[in-house]
Amino acid sequence: MTTYLLAGGGTAGHVNPLLALADLIRREEPGAGIIVLGTREGLEARLVPERGYELVHIERLPFPRRPNAAALRFPVRFARAVSQVRELIRSRGVDVVVGFGGYASAPAYRAAAREGVPTVIHEANAKPGLANRWGARSTPHVAVTFAGTPIAGARVTGMPLRPEITGLDRAALRDEARAHFGLDPARSTLLVTGGSLGARALNRGIAGSAQMLVDAGIQVLHVWGGLTELEDPGVPGYVVIPYCDRMDLAFAACDLAVSRAGSTTVSELAGLGIPAVLVPYAVGNGEQRFNAAGMVEAGGALLVEDGELTPQWVHDVLVPLLLDDARLEAMSRRARSAGALDGTERLLELVREAVGAAGT
């Protein structure tokens, strides 16, 4: 029986692929041991136990980026975290460490190397995070979501995705999905989502043109997001919801999506062949622009900046696109050519290779 230690967390971009891999291991290897290493502060603190997995907590340790008191304390705290993970590896007989980035990953990578346990790294973004860049120096088993991700020797596996997404038949579920959200089964449908946290500029940029969209014969499902105040324009045919726990149905309902360019979202849209307008998040290290590049270059998506989401842009670009069935169909084919739905299986294949290589 193999015992897996899955390390990562903080954001959905780290937690969701971790859980997708854990679910596949549980289905294919019911007797396997699965331990998740994370922090008390990240999304994993809620999502991992909810999914039925054991979560071992480790101290949240951001890499120091400037000389200050925290930087002086970091080496001792990091060494303590590494010791904690080494003890976990020994006491639980861990056979392989799989890291997804985030605060819990770096100590896990170091501990695995010290204990002689193989390490597999999955990098979700086209622009790698610091923990994974550092960890990739000490293992040949590195998986990336996007081709061109600058990690030498990495294998493109794609993004591990939830079974609800990989098994989704959008055409078969379209009428049911639209009825679920109170939408007309016969009207062109736009999905707008800024992710779980919301996106103020994206939200307001589209909602400000609600009447224009509806008057053009387009209905909208707008997932507003949790951390920005919901503003419902109150236009019939423009449905605003704060959260969506059935994104599979949201994807089935739509003809086009306007969305942030998080790695999971881009992977889901491309894999399912959903034409998109991708609006990269302007704050951070710019990874969303890189995430979007493959789908945009393939012709399956448009790249638009926050500031371009004006009523004029909606009138000149978005409405004509939504009403052009032939163009949407072509974009759907091109989007699918840039995506894949088997990222979970391909990552597990790499993990098994690492375990096998360690045993020879």
Which residues are known binding-site members for UDP-N-acetyl-alpha-D-glucosamine? 11-13, 125, 162, 196, 288
DSSP for 250-311, written as a single string: HHHH-SEEEE---HHHHHHHHHHT--EEE---SSSSSHHHHHHHHHHHHTSEEE--GGG-SH
DSSP letter for 136, please. Answer: G
Binding residue ranges? 11-13, 125, 162, 196, 288
Return all residues near 304 (Cβ < 8 A) that are at least 6 apart. Answer: 277, 278, 279, 313
Side-chain-side CA neighbours of 348 within 13 Å: the count stands at 21
In whole angstroms, what is the distance from residue 18 CA to residue 99 CA? 8
DSSP letter for 150, please. Answer: S
**Hunting for tokens 């909810």 — which residue is that?**
50
Distances (CA, A) of 320 to 5, 327, 328: 49, 10, 10
In the chain the beta strands, taken as DSSP E runs, fall at 3-7, 33-38, 54-57, 96-99, 119-123, 142-144, 155-156, 188-193, 218-223, 238-241, 256-259, 276-278, 301-303
**Hunting for tokens 């995506």 — which residue is that?**
339
Distances (CA, A) of 248 to 26, 28, 176, 180, 184: 22, 23, 12, 11, 18
Query: Are 157 and 143 spatial neighbours (Cβ–Cβ below 8 Å)?
Result: yes
Q: Give the tokens for residue 160.
A: 């591990």
Distance of CA 151 to the CA centre of its chain: 19
In whole angstroms, what is the distance from residue 270 CA to residue 292 CA? 10
Query: Are 309 and 201 spatial neighbours (Cβ–Cβ below 8 Å)?
Result: yes
